[in-house]
């Protein structure tokens, strides 16, 4: 249950009014929105994946090119869990808010695809996604399962069946340039009246700069962020609880 319930409920009411009273509202989401779908956070103190593993050694272009076997050993089992995860109440309420016209664009740092699974239509996956992979030689695109199936059948690293080039996921690895969705996200931030940050610690650049393009800022995150002191509203609380209450007071039905 919520700590300081009265206080939090008042804040959720302010969030509702911010959504209703502004016209161009975007949402920016990070790993924290997906933890309740069973996907581990990267940077939380004590439990974050990158507290135990150096991302440069496991999810960088250098890691892929110098030791592809180790790269796929580390990543394919994790990514397979992401692919099988299901959206939670926060993803679902955000999709409904878009449908109702209160949210224009969802910008996400997550590669789990859960916003699209939840029904969000206008989604910018600035770090890529796990629906597809491609051949590094001939650029052919395959479903993610092609890479995963080869891996689990003992073919590591997985290869293109056409030219035998190595396959790689369509995610933005460390050392990769930002993808085209990031440029679209920048365009979407033009004239943004309200940005609602959900489950991002706003520490990974360039995404951490996006709040500077919004007139108003609301942050829902379990932990403090560097942007908290500039925000119009800050809620440090379970994201699932916040969206459950928001759904209640806005009479949004999710199943
Ligand atoms: Zn190929």
199, 236: one domain: yes
* CA–centroid distance, residue 125 to ligand 1 (Å): 25
- Per-residue model confidence as pLDDT tens digits over 120-179: 999 999 999 999 999 999 999 999 999 999 999 999 999 999 999 999 999 999 999 999
Domain that holds residue 149: 47-84+131-171
* CA–centroid distance, residue 168 to ligand 1 (Å): 11
Report the CATH number at residue 79: 3.30.1600.10
Residue 159 annotated among the catalytic residues of the structure: no
Closest CA to 139 of 162, 111, 173, 155: 162
231, 149: one domain: no
100, 5: one domain: yes
d(CA 12, CA 6) in angstroms, rounded, equals 10
**Over residues 90-109, mean pLDDT:** 98
Boundary residue ending a domain (171, 202, 236): 171
Active-site entry in 91, 115, 127, 129? 127
pLDDT at site 44: 59
185, 166: one domain: no
Express the helix, strand and coil content of the chain in percent, nearest 5 each: 45, 20, 40
| Orientation of helix 239-249 relative to helix 5-21, angle to 10° | 60
pLDDT at site 61: 96
222, 98: one domain: yes
74, 191: one domain: no
Closest CA to 195 of 74, 70, 22, 53: 22
CA quadruple 94, 95, 100, 105: dihedral, nearest 10: 80
Question: What pLDDT band is residue 205 in, cutting at 50, 70 and 90?
Answer: confident
120, 218: one domain: yes
**What's the domain count of the chain?**
2
- Per-residue model confidence as pLDDT tens digits over 19-63: 999 999 999 999 999 999 999 776 555 656 666 777 788 899 999
């Amino acid at each position: 249950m919520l700590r300081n319930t009265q206080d939090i409920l008042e804040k959720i009411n302010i969030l509702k009014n911010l959504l209703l009273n502004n016209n161009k509202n975007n949402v920016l989401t990070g790993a924290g929105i997906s933890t309740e779908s069973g996907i581990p956070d990267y940077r939380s103190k004590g439990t974050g994946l990158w507290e135990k593993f150096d991302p440069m050694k496991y999810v960088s272009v250098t890691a892929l090119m110098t030791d592809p076997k180790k790269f796929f050993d580390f990543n394919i089992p994790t990514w397979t869990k992401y692919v099988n995860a299901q959206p939670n109440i926060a993803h679902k309420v955000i999709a409904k808010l878009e449908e109702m016209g209160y949210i224009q664009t969802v910008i996400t740092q997550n590669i789990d695809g859960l916003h699209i699974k939840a029904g969000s239509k206008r989604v910018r996956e600035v770090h890529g996604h796990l629906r597809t992979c491609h051949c590094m030689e001939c650029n052919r695109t395959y479903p993610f399962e092609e890479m995963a199936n080869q891996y689990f059948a003992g073919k590591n690293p997985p290869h293109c069946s056409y030219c035998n080039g190595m396959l790689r996921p369509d995610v933005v690895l460390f050392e990769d340039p930002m993808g085209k969705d990031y440029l679209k996200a920048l365009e979407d931030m033009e004239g943004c009246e309200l940005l609602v940050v959900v489950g991002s610690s706003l520490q990974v650049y360039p995404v951490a700069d996006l709040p500077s393009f919004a007139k108003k800022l609301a942050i829902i995150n379990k932990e403090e962020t560097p942007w908290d002191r500039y925000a119009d509203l800050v809620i440090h609380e379970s994201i699932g609880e916040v969206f459950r209450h928001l759904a209640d007071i806005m009479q949004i039905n999710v199943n």
